[in-house]
Amino acid sequence: MKRIIALGIAACCVAAFAATADAARSNTGCGIGTIIFEGKDGLLSQICAATFNGSFGNQTFGITSGTLECEKAPTFVSQEKLNHFVGDNMDNLAMDMSKGSGEYLTTLAVLLDVPVEERPALYAKLQANFSNIYSSEDVTHIDVLNNIEMVLSAG
């Protein structure tokens, strides 16, 4: 009976180590530490990899440059363009949004990366929620963007 329990515990340990090996990469993220300690899944290796990744800003460099086995975030540039577009075109965007069509609304959809076939639904939703998006005369472009995000995330 003790052997069966011992075998059960050993099987659980093997399964846990296998799961840990897959989780090691997600624990340490990307960066020079992950490259140096690649294939080593022990706790000490993960700690060293995470420490190296956090040292000297190499993980930040990897994320922003798309190197060191990091993926470059494509939304940073788009978000910045979106901020500038809405900030520079508040009045024209409000007019287009209130009527549910127009070139400023189309540009907004492009910057939001909405597929062409889904844009009519987007325009209708923004038009229906116009008073929630442009909630006051003093609304800022950041408020408008936050309100658009809230409307779109509501489903």
Q: Which amino acid is at 115?
A: P
- Is the pLDDT score of 76 beyond 60? no
- pTM exceeds 0.75, yes or no: no
Percent of the chain scoring above 90 in pLDDT = 42
Q: Which pLDDT score is estimated for 20?
A: 47
Integer Cα distance of 17 and 13 in angstroms: 6
Percent of the chain scoring above 70 in pLDDT = 79
Q: How confident is the model over 42-63, as a mean pLDDT?
A: 84
Of 28 and 141, more confident:
141
**For residue 38, which phi and psi values (nearest 5 degrees)?**
-60, 135
Integer Cα distance of 124 and 89 in angstroms: 20
Helix (H) or strand (E) holding 11: helix 2-28
- Is the pLDDT score of 122 beyond 60? yes
Helix (H) or strand (E) holding 146: helix 141-153
User: Which residues does 6 contact at the CB level (< 8 Å), separation at least 6?
Assistant: none
Q: What six digits make up the tokens of 100? A: 């549910």
Q: Which pLDDT score is estimated for 6?
A: 60
Specify the long-range contacts of residues 72-75, CB closer than 8 Å, at least 24 apart. none
